[in-house]
Amino acid sequence: MNRGRAALPRSRQRPDTLFTMRVLIATVLLAAIPLVASAHAIGASVEKINGDYLIDVGYDPPQIQAGDRLILDFDLKSSKDKTRVPYDYVWVRVEQNDHTLIATGVARAPLGPTTLLFQLLPNVTSDLIVSTRFERGDEMLVENEVTFKVGGVTNSFLSSPYVLFTFGLLIGAAVMFGMRAKRPS
């Protein structure tokens, strides 16, 4: 029902709110592309060639800090044509200062890289050495070792990209509603 006001013809309606919403949605979608476009979920990777194999160790976060949740992705490829090499499992050992933090076998994932998740303690501030051994049945295919630098503890709540993304959405919504409220009636 239109209580006493005549509806404006479409040509005289203000497109500010609709335009702002479209711009906000486009910006959000463009900002999300880097989160899903990498070969590994998020983060960085180290590739090393060892004989006939290319060992790919992906890690997240890209700058490892003490106290972080660490995600390691493992993949084995042919060094010649970069095709995936079948393996059954990868043995992983993470060391710091000649102390083993974790040693485990991880079964190969049917799709994508094989992933190991673990939490670094706040006092882990020296280099981490990640040793891997890819195996198929009883046959050892290749071994590798990668060293990662670890920084001190960062307690910044605002350092998370997801928190910054959420704040950006909230600010965009506030601007949109502010523009809507200022519109003459």
pLDDT tens-digit map of 12-67: 555 566 667 777 777 766 666 554 444 444 568 889 999 999 999 998 888 888 88
Q: Can you give the pLDDT at residue 36?
A: 45
Task: Give the three-state DSSP class for 96.
Answer: strand
Which whole number is the average pLDDT over 118-135?
87
3-state secondary structure of 167: helix
- Provide the CATH number for the domain formed by 44-155 in this structure: 2.60.40.1930
Is the confidence at residue 86, as pLDDT, over 50?
A: yes
Global confidence as pTM: 0.60
In terms of Cα–Cα distance, which of 82, 25, 12, 72 is closest to 45? Answer: 72
My answer on whether omega of the bond before 61 falls inside 30° of 0, hence cis, is: yes
pLDDT for residue 168: 76
Identify the top-confidence range among 7-11, 113-117, 138-142. 138-142
User: How does pLDDT run across 128-164, given as a tens digit for each residue?
Assistant: 899 999 999 999 999 999 998 888 765 555 555 666 6
Q: Within 10 Å of residue 163's Cβ, how many Cβ atoms? A: 12
**DSSP label at residue 20:** H
